[in-house]
Structure 1
Amino acid sequence: MTPASVTCRCPTSCRKPERSAGLAMAGPIRAIGIDHILVLVDDLDTAVRFYEVVAGAELVERLDQFAMVEMQVGASGLALVAPAITAGSWARPDVTGGRNIDHFCIAVAAEAEALRDHLAQTATAIIEEQAHDNGYSFYVRDPSGNTVELKALSDRR
């Protein structure tokens, strides 16, 4: 079987070489983390404020020519794109309903109660809470309606 070759659709944020979508040729592969997640948003400025204030992300670069903002979340990248803007039309999903992800999780270095207090202070509604064996999660929605799981890894209930 010849592995298919895929390239990320991001116009600039990845700049990664093509990756194999099939079986590795020289043995098993080992995932080392999430490089980046691309999230579709309605308004870039509102989304940037949410991810900075609520999730602690850092703004890296604004790429208006692509209706895109790059942010850093720990060791991973977070790309925000406004597909309703002409410059962001490249990211319009070809899926029913316009969304192609259920949620994503951001690990937070905080106790669950401190994270709950932070969410209350930022007027961020908690839509669900869930205890895990490796932490405690709060599910919230960003201003565009995307579900974001914020997991307090240091708290095991």
Structure 2
Amino acid sequence: MTPSKPPFSLVGLDHVVLLVADMDLAMRFYQDVLGCQPGFSYPHLGMEQVWCGNALIVLQDYTKPEGAWARPPVEGGRNLDHVCIALSPFDHDAMSAHLRAHGIEVVEEAFHGGARGMGNSFYVLDPFGNKLELKGPPVY
């Protein structure tokens, strides 16, 4: 039996949901440090969304009564290693300076493959310990 093709084609990352413990801090990080734009707002769910290019990052504040439904079963529990955010071309020194200016430590720098090809990446943590890979366009 030959495997059938799915009845759809993959387009790209639509959204990722990150659990946060302070929505104001989360919004400042994603908007001021990363430059995300405000997206859809669902205060009745304890949820805010920000645009990251043509995808969304959903910020779910599990510390508020409205968002308690998303509280991890184990304190600090995670089900995600990192999220890779595709970036436009950037200057290495300018990127380093920008992150430093916001008090963001670069956990790791790397050059490896991703959905768009081989490129340079900065790994950082958001204020809640979520690891983000900030990946430039392919070099080749």
TM-score (norm 2): 0.83
52-61 or 94-103, which moves further after superposition? 94-103
CA distance in 1, matches of 2:24, 2:76: 24
Q: Is the 8 A contact 2:39 2:56 kept in 1?
A: no
TM-score (norm 1): 0.75
Displaced runs of 4+ in structure 1, greater than 3 A? Answer: 93-97
CA distance in 2, matches of 1:89, 1:96: 13
Instruction: After TM superposition, list the pairs within 5 Å mapping 1:27-42 onto structure 2.
Output: 27-28=5-6, 29-42=8-21
Aligned to 1:115, which of 88, 95, 106?
95
Identity of matched residues, %: 38
Letter in 2 for 1:122: H
* Corresponding residue for residue 128 of structure 2: 144
Deviations 1:29-51 (A, max 9, x none): 42111111110011011001101
Q: Is the 8 A contact 1:111 1:152 kept in 2?
A: no
Aligned to 1:86, which of 65, 77, 82?
65
The 3-state SS of whatever aligns with 1:33 is coil
Letter in 2 for 1:51: Y
CA distance in 2, matches of 1:145, 1:97: 9
Q: Is the 8 A contact 1:126 1:139 kept in 2?
A: yes
Instruction: After TM superposition, list the pairs within 5 Å mapping 1:49-128 onto structure 2.
Output: 49-94=28-73, 97-109=76-88, 110-128=90-108
* Corresponding residue for residue 135 of structure 1: 119
Compare the two structures and name the one with the higher strand fraction. Answer: 2
CA distance in 2, matches of 1:60, 1:125: 26
CA RMSD of aligned residues (A): 2.2
61-70 or 39-48, which moves further after superposition? 61-70
State the shift of 1:97 in Å. 4.8
Q: Is the 8 A contact 2:22 2:63 kept in 1?
A: no
